[in-house]
Structure 1
Amino acid sequence: MISESYYWKESLLECANNLERYSKLKDIKPKDLVEIEKDIFISFYSIRKLMDTPKISDSTRELKINLNWSPNLKNVTMLNSHKMNELYDLDDIRVETKNLRFLCNQFVHSYIFEVVIEDGVGLSCCYFTSDRDKNKKIFFITVEMLVHILNLVGNDYPSKLKITRYSKTGELLTEVL
């Protein structure tokens, strides 16, 4: 259980700043790619942990995200997972609305994770799919959306907590505002 969320949220804000900086960095080195990967993985693991506490509001917890995705073309294995152009129809872009927990789980359980660096621009987006979805589709999300999510969660300090006990089961129901 997370007892003090401030430090977790500060880390999310730092990662958002790092990703924003990488989106403008024209010369990204292999070491930078590792930092980007760590920032994204650890951030979304942290968000998932925060979602299991009353430390973020219900509105953030229930955030809906439009994710772009492309369909799978053939079986994905550890031997071919680096060949995204052969495995997925990246020209066929579709959109699906998912919740924040889904996005967290995709990163935490990612089988494929690949950042896209545009020449002369910097980090632009990342492709990802979980071990469960790898043979169905691959998602991609812009750096701007990642930064938005990290800032949203990192700045979310609820002001009201309402706890109600459900009379039939004794289960506690929470409302975080």
Structure 2
Amino acid sequence: MIFDSLPWKKELHKLSERLHKVSLHSKMSETKAVSCEKAIFISAYIIRKLFEASKLSYELKSISCQITKYSNVKYVDLLNWHNINQTFDLNHPIPSTLNIKRLCNYLIHSFVFVFSYDENDSLCGFYFTSDREKNKELYFMQIKDFIKMAQIVANDEKMQARYKRDTNGDFKEVDHNIFEEPAIIL
């Protein structure tokens, strides 16, 4: 359990700044690629831990991120996971959104994770799917959208919380809004 969220949010901010700097340069080295991969995975872990510890505002629970989906066309396994152009239909993108918590879980449990580069060899995004979703869909997220999401979480300030004891005797956080608000899309 996280007691003080500030050090975690500071680390998340540092990681998003590192991703931003790398995305501005072309010709990413293997060392920088590994550093970016780690920054994305650690950011996803931090965000999930902050959610689990109830250290984020209610509003963040409804955030969804812009992504693109691709349908699976061939069984994905340990030998072909990196050949996304053969295992997924990249010619038919499907614009979609993904809830922030689900996005983080898919990244933490990713089976496929492949960077995408623009015509200048600059990092523009990444393809991913989880171990459970690998034979259903592949997702693509622009790096600028991931950075924006991480910065929103890093700058979030939870001002209040309400808890209620459930039937097992555990305290559960209760949403302070009695009306369901529409999802926020980044």
Pair in the same fold by TM > 0.5: yes
Helix, strand or coil: the match of 1:103?
Answer: helix
Structure-1 separation of matches of 2:175 and 2:43: 21
Task: Tell me which residue corresponds to 1:54.
Answer: 54
- Indicate conservation of the 8 Å contact 1:54/1:176, yes or no: no
Task: Tell me which residue corresponds to 2:173.
Answer: 174
Whichever residue aligns with residue 172 of structure 1, its letter is: F
Can you give the 5+ residue segments of structure 1 that lack an aligned partner in the other structure? Answer: none
Can you give the 5+ residue segments of structure 2 that lack an aligned partner in the other structure? Answer: 177-186
Task: Tell me which residue corresponds to 2:157.
Answer: 157
Whichever residue aligns with residue 81 of structure 1, its letter is: W
Q: Which structure 1 residue ranges, 4+ long, deviate > 4 Å from structure 2?
A: 168-171
Helix, strand or coil: the match of 1:97?
Answer: strand
What is the number of residues matched between the two proteins? 176
Task: Tell me which residue corresponds to 1:100.
Answer: 100
Whichever residue aligns with residue 30 of structure 2, its letter is: P
Whichever residue aligns with residue 17 of structure 1, its letter is: E
Summarize deviations over 1:2-26 as a string: whole Å, max 9, x none: 0111111111111111111122101
Structure-2 separation of matches of 1:78 and 1:121: 27
Q: In the TM superposition, what is the alpha-carbon distance from 1:120 to its structure 2 partner? A: 2.0
- Indicate conservation of the 8 Å contact 2:67/2:142, yes or no: no
Task: Tell me which residue corresponds to 2:148.
Answer: 148
- Indicate conservation of the 8 Å contact 1:116/1:126, yes or no: yes
Whichever residue aligns with residue 163 of structure 1, its letter is: Y
Q: In the TM superposition, what is the alpha-carbon distance from 1:158 to its structure 2 partner? A: 0.8
Question: TM-score, normalising length from structure 2?
Answer: 0.88
Structure-2 separation of matches of 1:42 and 1:173: 26
Structure-2 separation of matches of 1:121 and 1:81: 22
**RMSD of aligned residue pairs (Cα, Å):** 1.7
Structure-1 separation of matches of 2:174 and 2:20: 32
Structure-2 separation of matches of 1:67 and 1:117: 16
Task: Tell me which residue corresponds to 2:14.
Answer: 14
Structure-1 separation of matches of 2:78 and 2:165: 47
Helix, strand or coil: the match of 2:80?
Answer: coil
Identity, % of aligned pairs? 31
- Indicate conservation of the 8 Å contact 2:113/2:128, yes or no: yes
